[in-house]
Structure 1
Amino acid sequence: MNTATQKPVLTRAATAETTSDPSSVMTLLADCGTDGSPITSYRSTFAKGAVGAPAHFHTRASELFFVIGGELQVLVGDKVEVLGAGDFLLVPPHTPHAFAAAPGSEADVLFVFTPGMPRFDYLRLLGRVMRGEASPQEIKDSSELYDNHYVDSPRWRAALETAAAQK
């Protein structure tokens, strides 16, 4: 994006669009290409035990995580970590990753994709699927469009099973 055409992007909390499902709320902050934004960013709050995303990778963007509050359990490659308030994680392209609220914890997380690409329609679709208003097949069919490629991770499945057993 030509920096000469960029302008400030301001999203007010009171008027930001949100999408939600029974266990999380996503506040949409900046979508690449919208109002000149070169990045895509949103904030997610997860209830205790909420699963954020299954194992996946991006081919074009790095995904940044900044934990505002609570704890977030993440898969990075084949390693599971717990991030606490103030922790930052950058996941480069082609690196499998997944995330969920850490066992027994809520999580409040800022996500940033760079370089950005329009993703808000994908986030809206996720909300509809989680609420039973759309088919999971629609997510599978959109993997190239939104650069979200799902993979199997026995390590992540084991981590989620362990967390479920601790409830």
Structure 2
Amino acid sequence: MNENAATANTATTTFEPVLTRHAEAETCADPSSVMTLLGEAGGAAGFTSYRSTFATGAVGAPAHFHTKATELFFVISGSLQVLLGEEIKVLNAGDFLAVPPHTPHAFAAAPGHEADVLFVFTPGMGRFDYLRLLGRVLRGEADFKEIAESSERFDNHYVDSPVWRAALEAAKTEAAR
């Protein structure tokens, strides 16, 4: 990188470097996964990053979209089934996916597989609070209406997807065999 590029990059950075040591990372667990909260910084150049491990058959997020954030997925190991618009894709270890704003998507461990996935949102919008809320709701410690009421704050808007419902039902049927 040349000196001018380094100066330009420094000028647009709106947060201090973020370092999270593995031993110090907060974890959130819900019935479907364990999330390790890695780093978060606000502002237009901000981000949220966390790692989720999904057990075999675990459902991740229902169909939703973001109006501001791009969501990035990197599969560390295993396989992740993803709704992308109206299509179902399977991401395997080493695969990367970037989902732009306004694109309906959902995800779960692919049928018969576990998944270990790194997620990054940009901008981040304080999503750690959303993940904590989601965990409380799934454990029965908070009411689901709190999630619906937080959709604008966390840029997380749920939608109905017959394609995703059918994929989840097919996965249940396959697991029952």
Task: State the Cα distance separating 1:82 from its structure 2 match.
Answer: 0.5
Counterpart selection for 1:86 from 61, 77, 94: 94
1:117 CA displacement: 1.5
Aligned pairs for 1:20-99 (under 5 A) are 20-33=29-42, 38-99=46-107
Counterpart Cα distance in 2 of 1:2 and 1:55: 37
In the alignment, the residues of structure 1 paired with residue 98 and residue 13 of structure 2 have an alpha-carbon distance, to the nearest angstrom, of 27
Deviation of residue 3 (structure 1)?
3.5
Which residue identity lines up with residue 85 of structure 2 in the other structure?
A: G
Structure 1 partner of 2:122: 114
CA RMSD of aligned residues (A): 1.7
Length, aligned pairs only: 165
Deviating above 3 A after TM superposition, structure 1's stretches of 4 or more consecutive aligned residues are 1-6
Change (3 A) 1:4 1:78: closer
User: Helix, strand or coil: the match of 2:28?
Assistant: strand
Normalized per residue, the structure richer in helix is 2
Aligned equivalent of 2:3: none
- Residue 150 of structure 2 corresponds to residue 135 of structure 1: no
Distance 2:144 2:11 in 1: 36
Scaled by the length of structure 1, the TM-score of the pair is 0.94
Distance 1:6 1:27 in 2: 21
After TM superposition, give the deviation of residue 5 of structure 1 in Å: 5.0
Which secondary structure does the structure 2 equivalent of 1:26 belong to?
Answer: strand
Are 1:7 and 2:16 matched, yes or no?
A: yes
Answer whether contact 2:14 2:46 (CA < 8 A) is retained: no
SS of residue matched to 2:24: coil
Q: Paired residue for 1:126, among 115, 120, 134?
A: 134
Name structure 1 gaps, 5 residues minimum: none
In structure 2, stretches of 5+ residues that fail to align are: 1-9
Q: Could you say which residue in structure 2 is the equivalent of 1:157?
A: 165
Counterparts of 1:151 and 1:5, CA distance in 2:
32
> How far is the alpha carbon of 1:132 from its aligned partner?
1.1
Residue 101 (structure 1) aligned with residue 93 (structure 2): no
Deviates more, 1:18-27 or 1:156-165: 18-27
> Is contact 2:15–2:42 with CA below 8 Å preserved after alignment?
no
